[in-house]
Structure 1
Amino acid sequence: MRKLLALVAALTLTACGQTPATTRETGPDAAPRAGFPVTITNCGRTLTFDRPPAKVVTGYHPSLETLFALGLHDRVAGRTNFSESAFLPGQKELYDRIPEISPTIMLPQKEVMLAQGADLVLDNAMAAFDAAGGYATVAELDAAGSPVYILGGWCSPEETLEYTLDDTLTDLRNLGRIFGVSGRADRLAADLRGRLDDVRERVAGRPPVKVLATDGGKGPVNAYGGAGITNQMIIAAGGVNVLAGVKGDYTEVSVEQVSAAQPDAILVSEYATLRGETMPTVRAKTADTLAIARNSPAAKERRVLALPVAAQHPGYRNLLAVEDIARFLHPGAFTR
């Protein structure tokens, strides 16, 4: 089960209503920078930056990948562990150079986190800021001069369901402003927008492929309903979610629902470890799903794609994954 989303769903938003976060510097080196100060709204809070962050801490890996995509690896002073799936091309070397401050995908506990002295904390879930889990809260990090930016608008369990692909493009532009690299960010966002438009053009007019997106389970089954990031990717790639009528993003459905869904294709979440635990392999989850949906076209044709779970969270990778899914669903649309 994708525990990160399950944990997010169980938490109450801690960011709303907090004192606006600000990064300030004083002294002879505090001369104004061109284009600064920059003010960004995130999770209902106002973040003001007098200069580009130079000591960033990142949480779950898609946040780090996004900074890599913007060429900002040299600004990252600490990161969490990532061992769930393959790295994007060229990123493993950059990852290895950055100090690891947590052996899990979560940010470190409160004392360790506050000791980092970060001038920006970038993550894509509120789970790592829950006081009940021993983590520094958004308010505590604000007070310490370490403002928090949450990717994808995943500011509360309800808001994860409202995610659209445009939210990731907005994050890229916001980060471009925060780091003083707006031109670079705008070019990247435009390139990704062009790739999404190309996918949509290629699959337009083709019959949508019925897709089941699952994280395995013999009963109940962990699957993705008709709201949230995975559903958005399926639609953009020319598919239709067979569980579109199920409320929620990451949720549990019955064996009977999966059996009756009759998907033409199946997406299976891929990851190896989470918080130190060995997780079911893609092969095992695929076998379970094919057994449950044994009478479906997808099972008969064994039409299954492993989808890295990191692509199912806000960040640069989720936009790249749309093309991968589209090629899987509509290979004939990519012959030219």
Structure 2
Amino acid sequence: MLLPRFVALVVGLGVGALAHAAPTQYPLTIENCGSTLTFAQAPARAVTIGQAGTEMLFALGLADKMVGTSLWFNDVLVQYKAQNDNIERLADNEPSFESVIAKRPQLVAVELEWMVGPQGAVGTREQFHELKIPTYLMPSDCEAKDNLVGSDGTRLAPFRIDSIYKSITQFGEIFDVQARAQQLNTDLKASLAKSIAMANGKNPKDISALVWFSSASLDIDPYVAGHKGVPDFMLNTLGVRNVVESDEEWPTVGWETIAKANPTFLVIARMDRRRFPADDYLKKLEFLRNDPVTRNIDAVKNNRIIILDAMAMQASMRTFDGIAALASAINGYDLSK
């Protein structure tokens, strides 16, 4: 748990800090996940591969700089729907390399390294950089993480919420909107502080949870949140223990093993994509309540099941909404049962 003093510090970050945002001096050079990016001017054409970056750019007022989006787990936040409707969606999942470069981007913002990286599903950074197209990888997915181990990478150190603030700050520098970036980070820190304060009001000694993202098939082991990842950070921030110890981002774990751990809560992802059967949260619920193993888990018997948008489980602005929703849900349960 974070200390109350931290809460006061976060809330205390006010407008005064925003008055010192200096304009970007171009050419701007940024070190990003092992690459050096140089911008002669603010990009006028950006493509995003990942919803996290897409919604960050919307929040920074940069919709008019975006010419293509891709890789969506949930529908766009309602406040950005009008802007999003005017931008071409290149793909619901990974776009082709050709479709991205056809937009003549001056920046490609990438949420996950397995999309653009050494074994990129879209392409490698070198392929883009040879065409003078800079690729910005979200630090949340490349710093202290090995994306060549495990299906979705393995954390070498616990996820840090600072990596989200870092992306917002760097987008602010790249596009010369530093004041907007500072204000957005201040708002997100205040949201986190509010959630922590709510959790401080109800802090049982040992409550645990399992986070179920999806399953390639409902009759095989599910993809669940591993140790050190984003959902693990969310749980730990609220004083909840993740029953999964693997450092893989989304390992598969058998339901018999999960049942033995008997988590206090089950957190399941709701998503609008339909890549796997268990992307549908209603199918998750049906499975949990009817499978002979899962229906005997205390969290299922007592209906301690929390539904979160999948993007809340990714490093994004929605992570803060997810923490708030978790804090509120946990506070609403009678844990004496």
Normalised by the length of structure 2, the TM-score is 0.79
What is the rounded CA distance, in whole Å, between the counterparts of 2:46 and 2:59 in structure 1?
Answer: 15
Extract unaligned runs of 5+ from structure 2: 1-22
What is the rounded CA distance, in whole Å, between the counterparts of 1:170 and 1:65 in structure 2?
Answer: 15
Q: 1:301 to 1:124 in 2, by over 3 A?
A: same
What is the rounded CA distance, in whole Å, between the counterparts of 1:313 and 1:79 in structure 2?
Answer: 17
Q: 1:131 to 1:265 in 2, by over 3 A?
A: closer
**1:81: how far off?**
5.9
The superposition leaves residues 120-168 of structure 1 with CA deviations (integer Å, 9 ceiling, x where unpaired) of 0001112323687773321121122211111143134267624221110
Aligned match of 2:257:
257
More deviation, 175-184/198-207: 198-207
Q: Is the Cα–Cα contact under 8 Å of residues 239 and 329 in structure 1 kept in the other structure? A: no
AA aligned to 1:169 is Y
Aligned match of 2:167:
171
The superposition leaves residues 77-116 of structure 1 with CA deviations (integer Å, 9 ceiling, x where unpaired) of 111263x43432312221111022x233213x23332222
More deviation, 204-213/185-194: 204-213
What is the rounded CA distance, in whole Å, between the counterparts of 2:226 and 2:211 in structure 1?
Answer: 8
Q: 1:272 to 1:138 in 2, by over 3 A?
A: same
User: Percent same amino acid at aligned positions?
Assistant: 24
What is the rounded CA distance, in whole Å, between the counterparts of 1:133 and 1:45 in structure 2?
Answer: 15
2:93 to 105, 115, 133: 105
**1:37: how far off?**
2.4
What is the rounded CA distance, in whole Å, between the counterparts of 1:262 and 1:241 in structure 2?
Answer: 11
- Equivalent pairs, count: 295
**1:279: how far off?**
5.2
1:147 to 122, 129, 134: 134
2:211 to 204, 210, 213: 213
Q: 1:228 to 1:279 in 2, by over 3 A?
A: same
Q: Which runs of 4+ in 1 moved over 4 A?
A: 130-134, 277-280
Extract unaligned runs of 5+ from structure 1: 1-32
AA aligned to 1:283 is L
What is the rounded CA distance, in whole Å, between the counterparts of 1:133 and 1:63 in structure 2?
Answer: 17
- Compute the RMSD of aligned alpha carbons: 2.4
What is the rounded CA distance, in whole Å, between the counterparts of 1:261 and 1:288 in structure 2?
Answer: 18
User: 1:303-322 to 2 correspondence within 5 Å?
Assistant: 303-322=304-323
AA aligned to 1:80 is S
User: 1:105-144 to 2 correspondence within 5 Å?
Assistant: 105-107=93-95, 109-129=96-116, 135-144=122-131
Does residue 66 of structure 2 align to residue 66 of structure 1?
no
Q: Is the Cα–Cα contact under 8 Å of residues 37 and 48 in structure 1 kept in the other structure? A: yes
What is the rounded CA distance, in whole Å, between the counterparts of 1:55 and 1:178 in structure 2?
Answer: 12
Aligned match of 2:38:
48
Aligned match of 1:91:
80
More deviation, 115-124/152-161: 152-161
Normalised by the length of structure 1, the TM-score is 0.80
AA aligned to 2:194 is D
Q: Is the Cα–Cα contact under 8 Å of residues 270 and 307 in structure 2 kept in the other structure? A: yes
What is the rounded CA distance, in whole Å, between the counterparts of 2:109 and 2:252 in structure 1?
Answer: 29
AA aligned to 2:112 is A
